[in-house]
């Protein structure tokens, strides 16, 4: 599916902003582990927090393929920002697909007025095993009372709005999980300290704590007991986004390796003239382009409304593995300089690693893929 001219113009605008405004300063934010508030304000001005919000609510309503153009650009220039936009998009897709008209109006009004959202699934003892979550939601009259702790939540400390899974019936396992939305400022809602991460250090990641948080019963998204299914469908979308960003990391690795290879002279000629490095670049390009096409296939099925659970798992798993491999090969081509923080490729490796863990580890993705092919 081909993005419209307007979508392409926005993607190019975002690309120019990332190249000219973000790339020169992201290393400093990474080094200081400082939250780049100014960059988030600029992302909001560009509309990256409403790119999948429906037009009827004031959003940009970009197609899935158009969103990938932006996701890959974010992956090339600043992965932490790509993670933040992706987490916001996950909550947006969730609400757009499963929310009531009244819930959508509240949610999208917040986003259109500059807010960001977070998707709260992971818990201290429930990572890949999402069904082991301990957060509870107890119905009391016209309210639910939520108690629990979510961890590693992207946008946790900056969100205006949270989509939260909680157990409404612990005796039913995953069939007792429900989905709720909670607005920032609700009494009992708080956040923990920001994680000091290996990579994606321009994103905000922290715990989200719920202590006797009372919300209207109308904040239940969908029906009781449907929360796990909603979360899994949200992860399908999120995994495809992560595959896009990971492809961008790999492409940046190729670009940096080629540029350095043309400049670095050894034995009287640029090192890129050596056949061994030419073949290395060729392999990096083959794998990166393959990842890009896998992502495109998953997104096309998503845009057509076809099942794409297997395809999203393949795209995320393969693209993230390739991002790690290409980033490592780029460092190898730089030699000792690649190991120095004065050059950008070491940051690519640190940023890439989380994509093998995000939204279900790559081991979990292989379980999803094998179950789809073989059957459970």
CB-facing half-sphere around the CA of 52: CA atoms within 13 A: 27
- For 205, 206, 314, the CA distances from 329, given in Å and listed in that order, are 28, 32, 22
| Alpha-helix residue ranges (DSSP H) falling in the chain | 5-17, 23-32, 37-46, 64-77, 79-98, 101-112, 227-263, 275-303, 309-334, 345-353, 362-374
Question: Would you call 180 helix, strand, or coil by DSSP?
Answer: strand
Q: What is the distance between the alpha carbons of residues 355 and 319, in angstroms, rounded to a whole number?
A: 9
Q: Are 354 and 199 in contact (CB under 8 A)?
A: yes
Q: What is the distance between the alpha carbons of residues 277 and 255, in angstroms, rounded to a whole number?
A: 13
Question: Would you call 21 helix, strand, or coil by DSSP?
Answer: helix
Q: What is the distance between the alpha carbons of residues 125 and 133, in angstroms, rounded to a whole number?
A: 7
Is the Cα torsion angle 228, 215, 184, 110 positive or negative in sign? Answer: positive
Q: Are 167 and 144 in contact (CB under 8 A)?
A: no
Q: Which residues are catalytic?
A: 359
Query: What one-character-per-residue DSSP string does 38-96 give?
Result: HHHHHHHHHTTTSTTS-GGGT-----HHHHHHHHHHHHHH-HHHHHHHHHHHHHHHHHH
Strand partners, 139: 144
């Amino acid at each position: 599916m081909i993005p419209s001219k307007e979508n392409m113009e926005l993607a190019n605008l975002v690309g120019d902003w990332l190249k000219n405004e973000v790339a020169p300063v992201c290393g400093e934010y990474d080094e200081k582990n400082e939250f780049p508030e100014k960059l988030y304000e600029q992302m909001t001005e560009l509309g990256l927090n409403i790119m999948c919000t429906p037009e009827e609510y004031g959003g940009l309503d970009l197609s899935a393929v158009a969103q990938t153009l932006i996701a890959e650009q974010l992956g090339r220039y600043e992965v932490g920002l790509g993670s933040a936009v992706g987490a916001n998009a996950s909550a947006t897709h969730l609400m757009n697909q499963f929310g009531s008209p009244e819930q959508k109006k509240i949610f999208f009004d917040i986003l259109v007025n500059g807010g960001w959202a977070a998707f709260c699934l992971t818990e201290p003892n429930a990572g890949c095993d999402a069904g082991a979550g301990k957060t509870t939601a107890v119905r009391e009259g016209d309210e639910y009372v939520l108690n629990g702790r979510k961890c590693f939540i992207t946008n946790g400390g900056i969100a205006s709005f949270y989509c939260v899974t909680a157990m409404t019936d612990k005796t039913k396992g995953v069939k007792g999980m429900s989905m709720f939305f909670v607005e920032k400022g609700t009494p009992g809602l708080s956040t923990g300290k920001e994680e000091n991460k290996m990579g994606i250090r321009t994103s905000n990641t922290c715990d989200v704590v719920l202590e006797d948080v009372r919300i209207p019963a109308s904040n239940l998204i969908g029906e009781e007991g449907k929360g796990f299914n909603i979360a899994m469908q949200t992860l399908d979308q999120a995994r495809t986004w992560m595959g896009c960003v990971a492809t961008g990391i790999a492409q940046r690795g190729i670009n940096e390796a080629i540029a350095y290879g043309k400049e670095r002279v050894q034995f009287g000629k640029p090192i890129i003239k050596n056949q061994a490095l030419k073949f290395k670049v060729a392999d990096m390009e083959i794998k990166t382009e393959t990842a890009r096409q896998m992502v495109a296939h998953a997104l096309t099925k998503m845009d057509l409304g076809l099942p794409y659970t297997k395809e999203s798992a393949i795209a995320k798993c393969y693209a993230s593995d390739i991002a790690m491999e290409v980033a490592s090969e780029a460092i190898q081509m730089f030699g000792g300089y690649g190991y120095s923080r004065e050059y950008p490729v070491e940051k690519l490796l640190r940023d890439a690693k989380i994509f093998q863990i995000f939204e279900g580890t790559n081991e979990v993705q292989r379980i999803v893929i094998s179950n789809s092919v073989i059957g459970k």
